[in-house]
A and B are shown apart, each in its own frame.
Chain A
Amino acid sequence: MEKPIVKLTNVSKSYNLYKRKSDLLLEMFSYKQDKKTFSALKNISFEVYKGETIGVIGINGSGKSTLSNILAQVVPASAGEIVINGDPSLVAISAGLNNFVTGRENIELKCLMHGLKKEEIDEITPDIIEFADIGDFIDQPIKNYSSGMKSRLGFAISVHIQPDILVVDEALSVGDSTFYKKCLDKFEEFKSEGKTIFFISHSLPQVQAISDRILWLNFGEVQNFDQTETVVKEYKTFIDWFNGLTTEQKKEYRSQKLRGQIRKGNKHYPSGTRNLSRRKKKRREKNPMIQLSLLIALFLFSTLLMFVDNPVQAIQQGLENINNEEAPEKIEEASSSHAGYSGVETNYTAWINVEKTYLYNDVNFVNKLKELSFGSKVKVIEKMEQDSIFRVETGGVTGYLTNDHFVVLKEDEVASNLKLEDFIEIFPDRFAESYEFFFAFLGSDVNEMKESTNGITEEYDENGYKIYEFAYEDMAYIVNENGKVNAIEIENLDLKPSLIKDISNEVKIKSTDGNLYHLKLDDYIVDINTKSGLIQFKVE
C-alpha cells in the first residue's frame, strides 16, 4: 500500500465568536471555554496519494477556504491529526501580495519568503512574468492591478516555486479562457511530475474537468468523497434540489444548518480526540511554569543584589546577626561597645596613607560614614578589641578604620626642612620661570587674581571648588567657596629620580604604594602625586 501524502484524521476547526473586542482580550488571559463557537469543519477525515488531483466543492459557507488554509498549514486545526508530507503552496486571490510595491518586487519578496536564493529567483522571474502575462504592469504597484492581474500573478508565483502540494482556492474564477487553458496545461505538467493538487471551487464544470476525485463539503462536514463521476452526479442532484427551493425555504435550510454549527460550551466534539489532546497539553504546561518561576526568582535576586553595596560582607553580617539571635547576650555586648567597652583609650594624631579610604560606622565595615583622602589628619581615640581596628575622629565625625590605612606621627614630625626653592627643579620649565608671580596670588581674592593674570584657558566647578586652569603654564588655581585662592596645582612635573630624591628623603607621610607624598612647609601644605606628575600647594 502506498503511503498517503496527505492524511487528515478527525480534523475540526472552530472559531470563537466575539461580540466585542474586549471579549477577545479576556479570552487571551483565561482558559474559560464556555463561549460561543462556530465550527467551520467537523471531524474531517480523508487520505490523498501522490500525483492525485482532488477537487473540493461545496456551496458558500461550507468550509472550503478553511480546509484550504488547513491544507496549506497556514491555520492550525482545533482538533484532530494532520499529516502532510511535502511543501504546500496556497494560491488564493491576491494572496500574500504587498499592495504598495511593484509586481517585480512582489515576485522577489514572495520567492525570498519561500526560501529561494537570489540566483534562483533571477532564473524564474522571467518565467513568472511570462506566465502571468501582465506586460508593462509588472513595474507598477500592485494596487493599480485589476483583480484578474492580481490573481494571475499570485498563481504564477505559487506554481513556479516548485511546491509538492498545490492548493488552489478559487483563484481561477477570475481568469479568462486563455489563462484558464494555460493553467490546465500547468496542472497537467504538475501531475506528470507526480505532484498533488487540491482544486477548490464552487464551479462544478471546472472541478469536473480537472479532478481525479472530488471531496464534497456541506456545512463543515464531508458529504461525499469519491470518484469524480459519482460525486458530480450527487452534487448536481443536490444543487437542483437546492435551487428548486423558494427563497424562504433556502433561508430556512441555511439557518438550520448554521445553527448546527454554532455551539455553546465545551462539549461540541463528540470524538475523544480533543479531550485527549487537552490533557496532553496540560502536562506539558507544568514544566515551563516551574522554569518561569525560577527565572523570576533569579531576576528578583539579582535585582536585590544590585541594591546591596558589598554583598559578601552583607551576607557575612547577615549570618552573624543570625548567630547573634541564637545567643542574645552577645548582642548586648556588641551594642554596649560604644559605652566604653573593651577599647583602650589613646590620643594620637595620624595621617591617612592610602589614596582613598572610608570611615565606617561600625566595626564590621558595612556602613560608610565619610570618604577620607590621602593626607587627611585624624585623631585616634580608641583601640578596639580587634587589634587592627581603631576608633578615630576627624572633622567632628567619629568612626572606625583599620590601622593599615593611617600612619601615626606627631604634629611637629610632619613639618619638613624643605623650602619652596627646593621644588623649582621639578617644576615644568615654563612655570619655573614665573613661579614667584603665581605663588603671590595664593591666599588672595579671586577677582584680584583674575584682573592681574591672563591666560585662563578654562574654568569649572569640582567638589564645590572653582578651578581656573592655565593650560599654557601647566597649572591651575583652586578657589574655595569664600572666593579666596586656596591652592595652586602644577602638573607635568619633571620627576627624574635624581631630582625627586632630595625631596623624597624629607617626606614623612607616603602612601603605602609609594606614589603619594604629603608634607608641610612653613607656609604651605604640599601634596605630590608622583604617578601622575602633580603637585599641590595649599595655604592653611
Chain B
Amino acid sequence: MKTVINIINQQLFHFPLIIRLALYETKSKYQMHFLGVLWQFINPLLQVAVYWFVFGVGIRNGIPVEGTPFFIWLLMGLVPWFFISPTIVQGSNSIYSKINLVSKMKFPVSILPSITIVSNIFGFLITVIILGIVMFIYRIPVSIYALQLPYYLVCLFLLLYSITLFTSTISALIRDFQLLIQTLMRLLFFMTPILWSIEEFPGRFHTLIELNPFAYIVNGFRESLLSGSWFYEDWRYTIYFWSFTLLILFVGSLLHENYKNKFVDYL
C-alpha cells in the first residue's frame, strides 16, 4: 500500500507539471497536419456516423433502446469509449516512447501515463459537450441521477491510470505486450455494451459481460444521463469494480517501483 500511496502522491505533487506537459503534447500532436485540431472532431464524427448507420439503421432497424433513441444510446457509450481506447493504447506506450528523453534526466517516470490521460481529457471534454448539445436537441431531460457523473468520472480516471501504469511498465520491458494491448482493445470494443444493450443477451450471460470493468463505466454513464439508478444500488458490482481497480493499481505500482530505474538497462 505504501508504494501505491507514494505513486499517487507523486501524481498530486507533479500535477502542474502533468498539465503543462499534457498541453504541450496536445499542441504538438496535430501540428504536422494541415487540418490540425479539426481532426479531434473529424475522427469521432466519422466513426459515430458509421456505427449509427450500420448498427442503428441497419441491424437494429432504428428501434429505440428502452425508450431512448438508438442514436443517443450509442453516443453515450461511444463518448467514454473514444476516451478510454486511445488513452490505454497510447498510455501503454507512454514510457517506451519517452524513455529516451527521460533517461538523461531525473524525471518521475510514473507521471508519464498521467500525461497521456490528461492530454486525452481535452478531446473527451469536447465530445462530452457535443453529447450535451445532442441531448438538448433530442429533449432528453437531465435528472438528479446526473449528480453521480463525477463519481463515474473518478472511477474512469482511476481505472485508466491503474491500467496504463501496469501496461506501460510491462510494455517498456516486453515490446510484444503493446501489440497484445492493441488487439485486446479492439476486441473489448465489441465485448463492452456500447453498440448493444446488455438486456439483449439471455440473463445467464449478464454477469459474464459485467466482469469487464469498462462495462461498469459505460453503464454508469447511461444510468446517470438516462435516469436509471444510483451506483450503490448495485453494490456487488461496485465492490467488484473497485477491487479490480485496486488490484491492478497495486500490481502496477509494485512492478513500476521495481523497474522504474531499470528501463534504460532493459532497452
A residues bordering B, Cβ < 8 Å? Answer: 15, 24-25, 28, 72-76, 87-90, 92, 95-98, 101, 105, 108-110, 112-115, 117-118, 287-288, 291-292, 295-296, 298-299, 301-303, 305-307, 311, 460
Q: Which of B24, B28, B240, B250 meets A305, CB within 8 Å?
A: B240
Number of A-B contacts (CB under 8 A): 98
B42-50, B79-87, B123-131, B258-266: which lies at the A interface? B258-266
The reply to whether A302 and B236 form a contact with Cβ atoms under 8 Å apart is: yes
B207: A residues at CB distance < 8 A: 306-307
| Interface positions of B from 2 to 33, Cβ below 8 Å from A | 2-3, 14, 16-17, 20-21, 24, 28
Closest 7 CB pairs of A and B: A96-B104, A95-B104, A76-B261, A302-B240, A299-B243, A302-B243, A298-B243
- Indicate whether B246 reaches chain A with its CB closer than 8 angstroms: yes
Given A115-B17, A311-B236, A303 and B211 touching (CB < 8 A)? Answer: yes
- Chain B residues with Cβ below 8 Å from A98 are 101
- B interface secondary structure, majority: helix
Pick the most buried of B3, B17, B104, B106: most chain A CB atoms within 10 A of its CB. Answer: B104
Encoded as 1 (CB less than 8 Å from any A CB) or 0, chain B from 83 to 118 comes to: 000000000000000001111111100000000000
Complex Cα distance A97/B243, Å? 41
Q: Beyond the given A76-B261, A288-B3, A299-B244, could you list 11 further A-B residue pairs with CB under 8 A, ordered by the A residue number?
A: A72-B105, A96-B101, A98-B101, A110-B101, A113-B107, A114-B105, A117-B20, A292-B250, A292-B254, A302-B243, A303-B240
In the assembled complex, 18 residue pairs joining A and B whose CB atoms fall closer than 8 Å, in A order, are A24-B266, A74-B264, A76-B261, A95-B104, A97-B101, A108-B24, A110-B101, A113-B101, A114-B105, A291-B1, A296-B247, A299-B243, A299-B247, A302-B240, A303-B211, A306-B207, A306-B210, A306-B211
**Does B239 sit at the interface, judged by CB under 8 A?**
yes
CA distance A113 to B207 in the complex (A): 44
Contact flag A101-B28 (CB < 8 Å), given A74-B106, A306-B210, A311-B236: yes
Complex interface: chain A residues within 8 A of B181 (CB): none
Assess whether B198 is interfacial by the CB under 8 Å rule: no
* Interface flags, B224-247, vs A, CB<8A=1, else 0: 000000000000110110011011
Q: Is B174 an interface residue when CB atoms closer than 8 A count as contact?
A: yes
The CA-CA distance from A74 to B246 in the complex, in Å, is: 30
A465 to chain B, nearest CB (A): 15
State whether A96 and B103 are in contact (beta carbons under 8 Å apart), knowing that A76-B261, A113-B21, A306-B210 are contacts in the complex: yes
On whether A28 and B173 interact (CB within 8 A), knowing A75-B264, A96-B101, A306-B207, the answer reads yes
Which residues of the partner chain A approach B100 to less than 8 Å between Cβ atoms?
96
Which of A105, A117, A295 contacts B28 (CB under 8 A)? A105
CA gap between A460 and B243 in the complex, in Å: 41
CA distance A87 to B261 in the complex (A): 17
Of all chain A residues, which has the CB nearest B249? A295
Q: How distant is the Cα of A118 from the Cα of B27 in the complex, in angstroms?
A: 14
- Complex Cα distance A298/B247, Å? 9
Q: Decide: A295 near B247, CB < 8 A? Known: A96-B102, A96-B104, A305-B239.
A: yes
Residues of B close to A288: CB separation below 8 A: 3, 254
- Nearest-CB residue, chain B, relative to A289: B254
B105 to chain A, nearest CB (A): 6
- A96 contacts B24, CB within 8 Å? no
Contact in complex: A112, B105 (CB < 8 Å):
no
Provide the residues of chain A in CB contact with B1, threshold 8 Å.
Answer: 291
Looking at A15, A113, A292, the one whose CB has the most chain B CB atoms below 10 A away is A113
Whether, in the assembled complex, B37 has its beta carbon less than 8 Å from a beta carbon of chain A, the answer is: no
Task: Report if A118-B104 is in contact (Cβ < 8 Å); known contacts: A24-B266, A311-B236.
Answer: no
